[in-house]
């Protein structure tokens, strides 16, 4: 994303905490963490999205188990304010801005031997067992911060921000995570790498035509996040960064090509990313994938459906093997995702 001359991304340690609740009905403040432990072949992601003006928070727990099954739970938990990330049995705690955060969850998970069943949530919840689950994770930052809230040189908001409709402010950071997952009577000890993000501002998932978001970690010194996004008006946004021995090099151009199965779920990908310092060829192989959806009805009765496919993915780049997510968001039109050529 190219900023106007003199504009900059404003980010303060205070932004790690909650922001004042805006007046918009669809005001969202969300935080997200992922992690993957290559030795244990287990990972997951965790999200809380507060939508206080709509009276609920979206809470998601998603754990990719070593046998290919996925332990998953989603709730719309009642909330009345935007004072904390604490909903549906999940809690996020900022222990030290930019440096240390904690994720906790206590509740149930649905254990899906075939994660693709989640494309029909009501059927999936009827046909798969639930088990008690606790998550305790401690995260530490291994990189600088990426992102913030775009403002003009005089400090006023950038009103032409192309990301308006998804967020006003957004930042990401590569991280290391350790702790435990307990699912039923099985305890998994976790030590791995991942990425976190934090967004605030009005959001409808339907305000993006499609995107491809590829967060990946190869080591504490080398990690990438690559983003290709097409907005509702057809304009394109390319972004991301490469962690290179403690510094972030911004991605200035990128291409992502994907292979699909019969359901148009990504199975593998090839990406190319360019910074001012280097070019990167990336290959990705999806190890396990769960499809999710978001629906919204317009006042005229039109039904909109957004699909997000969350693939735990093995990546290769510069002779190294790493892990992360491939998150593909598409609007579904006439039964097909709109971005299947990308």
- Residues 18 and 76: their CA atoms lie apart, in Å, by 19
- Residues 326 and 56: their CA atoms lie apart, in Å, by 27
Q: Same structural domain for residues 235 and 168?
A: no
How far out from the chain centre does Cα 79 lie?
A: 22
Q: Same structural domain for residues 262 and 177?
A: no
Q: pLDDT of 268-288, one tens digit each?
A: 999 999 999 999 999 999 999
Q: Same structural domain for residues 133 and 236?
A: no
Q: Same structural domain for residues 210 and 296?
A: yes
pLDDT at 118: 98
- Entry pTM: 0.95
The number of distinct structural domains making up the chain is 2
Q: Same structural domain for residues 38 and 178?
A: yes
pLDDT at 157: 75
The CATH number of residue 197's host domain is: 2.40.370.10
Q: Same structural domain for residues 210 and 325?
A: yes
pLDDT at 151: 86
- Residues 59 and 77: their CA atoms lie apart, in Å, by 7
Is 50 contained in some domain?
Answer: yes
Query: b/e per residue, 85-109, with b = 16+ CB within 10 A?
Result: bbbbbbbbebeeebeebbbbbebbb
pLDDT at 158: 72
Spans of the chain below 70 pLDDT: 1-2, 4, 159-165, 342
Domain boundary among 176, 203, 230: 203
The boundaries of the domain holding residue 259 are 206-342
Could you report how far apart the first and last alpha carbons of the chain are, in Å? 19
Q: Same structural domain for residues 164 and 303?
A: no
pLDDT at 235: 87
Q: Same structural domain for residues 154 and 190?
A: yes
Tokens of 20: 């004042």
Q: Same structural domain for residues 92 and 236?
A: no
**C-alpha dihedral sign at 150, 151, 156, 161:** negative
Tokens of 171: 């930042």
pLDDT at 70: 99
307 strand-pairing partners: 293, 330
How far out from the chain centre does Cα 269 lie?
A: 18
Domain boundary among 166, 188, 203: 203
């Amino acid at each position: 994303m190219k900023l106007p001359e003199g504009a900059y991304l404003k980010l303060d340690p205070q932004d790690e905490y909650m922001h004042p609740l805006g007046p918009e009905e669809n005001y969202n403040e969300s935080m997200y963490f992922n992690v993957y432990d290559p030795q244990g072949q287990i990972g997951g992601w965790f999200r809380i999205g507060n939508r206080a003006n709509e009276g609920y928070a979206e809470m998601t727990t998603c754990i990719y188990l070593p046998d290919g099954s996925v332990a998953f739970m989603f709730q719309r938990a009642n909330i009345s304010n935007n004072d904390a990330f604490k909903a549906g049995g999940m809690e996020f705690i900022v222990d030290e801005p930019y440096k240390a955060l904690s994720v906790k969850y206590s509740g149930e998970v649905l254990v899906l031997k075939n994660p693709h069943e989640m494309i029909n949530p009501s059927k999936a919840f009827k046909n798969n067992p639930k088990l008690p689950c606790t998550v305790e994770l401690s995260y530490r930052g291994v990189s600088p911060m990426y992102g913030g809230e775009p403002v003009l040189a005089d400090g006023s908001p950038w009103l032409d921000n192309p990301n308006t409709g998804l967020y006003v402010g957004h930042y990401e950071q590569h991280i290391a995570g350790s702790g435990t997952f307990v699912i039923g009577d099985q305890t998994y000890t976790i030590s791995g790498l991942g990425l976190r993000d934090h967004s605030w501002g009005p959001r409808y998932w339907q305000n993006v035509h499609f995107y491809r978001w590829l967060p990946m970690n190869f080591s504490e010194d080398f990690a990438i996040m690559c983003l290709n996004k097409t907005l509702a008006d057809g304009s394109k946004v390319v972004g991301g960064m490469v962690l290179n021995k403690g510094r972030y090099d911004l991605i200035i151009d990128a291409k992502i090509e994907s292979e699909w199965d019969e359901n148009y779920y990504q199975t593998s990908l090839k990406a190319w990313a360019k910074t001012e310092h280097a070019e990167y060829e990336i290959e990705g192989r999806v190890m396990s994938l769960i499809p999710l959806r978001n629906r919204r009805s317009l006042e005229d009765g039109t039904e909109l459906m957004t699909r997000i496919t969350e693939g735990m993915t093995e990546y290769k780049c510069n002779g190294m093997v790493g892990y992360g997510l491939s998150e593909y968001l598409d609007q579904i039109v006439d039964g097909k995702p709109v971005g299947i050529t990308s």
